[in-house]
Amino acid sequence: MSLHGNDRRDEPSMGSAGANGTVAAASLRLRLNPNKEHKPEGYEDMELDFSPNIFSSLERYLPPSMLNVARVDKAKFMRDILLKYLPLGERNRAQKHKEYRQKIIANYQPLHRELYSVNPATFFVPSFLKAINDNTEQSFRSIMSEPAPGIFVFDIFQPDFCELLLSEIENFEKWVTETKFRIMRPNTMNKYGAVLDDFGLETMLDKLMEGFIRPLSKGFHVDDSEVTLNVCLGKQFSGGELFFRGVRCEKHVNTGSHSEEIFDYCHVPGRAVLHRGRHRHGARATTSGHRVNLLLWCRSSVFREMKRYQKDFSGWCGECNREKKERQRTTIAATRLELFKKEESTA
Q: What is the pLDDT of residue 124?
A: 96
Q: What is the pLDDT of residue 222?
A: 45
Taking a C-beta distance cutoff of 8 angstroms, is the pair 101, 30 a contact? no
Q: What is the pLDDT of residue 192?
A: 52
Dist CA 273 CA 152 (whole Å): 6
Taking a C-beta distance cutoff of 8 angstroms, is the pair 245, 151 a contact? no
Q: What is the pLDDT of residue 334?
A: 84
Q: What is the pLDDT of residue 336?
A: 85
Q: What is the pLDDT of residue 142?
A: 94
Q: What is the pLDDT of residue 25?
A: 35
Dist CA 147 CA 149 (whole Å): 7
Dist CA 268 CA 304 (whole Å): 32
Write down the domain spans for the chain: 25-306, 317-346
Q: What is the pLDDT of residue 230?
A: 92
pTM: 0.67
Torsion of CA 215, 221, 224, 227, to 10 degrees: -60
Positions in the chain short of pLDDT 70: 1-28, 90, 185-194, 220-225, 299-316, 347
Taking a C-beta distance cutoff of 8 angstroms, is the pair 104, 198 a contact? yes
Q: What is the pLDDT of residue 89?
A: 72
**Category of 151 on φ-ψ map: left (φ > 0), alpha (ψ -120 to 50) or beta:** beta
Q: Element (H or E) spanning 233, and its range?
A: strand 227-234
In order, the DSSP letters of 196-216 are GGGGTTHHHHHHHIIIIIHHH
How do residues 107-148 score in pLDDT, each as one tens digit? 999 999 999 889 999 999 999 999 999 999 899 999 999 999
Q: The domain 25-306: what is its CATH number?
A: 2.60.120
Q: What is the pLDDT of residue 47?
A: 75
3-state helix, strand, coil in the chain (%, to 5): 45, 15, 35
Contacts of 312 (CB under 8 A, 6+ apart): none
